[in-house]
Amino acid sequence: MAIGLCLIALELVSTTFLSLLLGVSALLVGVLLYILPDLSQSTLFLLWGIFSVISTGLWFRFFKPQAIRVSLSTAELEMVTGTEGTVIRHNRDRKDGIVRFTIPVLDRSEWPFFSENPVKEGDRVVIIGFDQNHFIVAPKSGV
């Protein structure tokens, strides 16, 4: 349980949530050891591994997608406006898709986008804005 508390405390200086998940798993093993004191050390490590994998899987399946809400400051938006990228996936019906940048923009090489102008896969586009986790882009020739 002490290791679990240390891992949870480590999360205070980390931003990945991994140490939190590992710490909670260690606490669960500690509770099981309290309830079933005859468990062997190898069984405890196995249980900790299983709990860690399950909690990490649950995190990425249910919580992580909702946690990725990006908001850009005005300075960040001004810094990336005009950056060129290539459309790698496009949905004509919804006017959105994925754009890839040769140099990562805000630590990511690929971003979802919206475009009011017609674009297709392979087109070069430039960033003109940002809304709801998506860049707003326009064809390079249209800017």
Q: Does residue 24 come out as left (phi exceeding 0), alpha (psi in the -120 to 50 range) or beta?
A: alpha
The backbone torsions φ and ψ at residue 39, rounded to the nearest 5 degrees and listed phi first, read -70, 140
What superfamily would CATH give domain 74-142? Nucleic acid-binding proteins (2.40.50.140)
In the prediction, which pLDDT does 143 show? 47
Burial class (CB in 10 A: 0-12, 13-18, 19+), 60: exposed
Under-50 pLDDT residues of the chain = 67-68, 142-143
Q: Residue 40 to residues 26, 35, 36, 37, 43: CA-CA distances in angstroms?
A: 15, 13, 10, 9, 5
Which 3 state secondary structure label does DSSP give 83? coil
Parse the chain into domains and list their residue ranges: 2-67, 74-142
CB atoms within 10 A of CB 26: 23
Q: What are the structure tokens assigned to 93, written together?
A: 């019906």
In the prediction, which pLDDT does 70 show? 57
In the prediction, which pLDDT does 52 show? 94
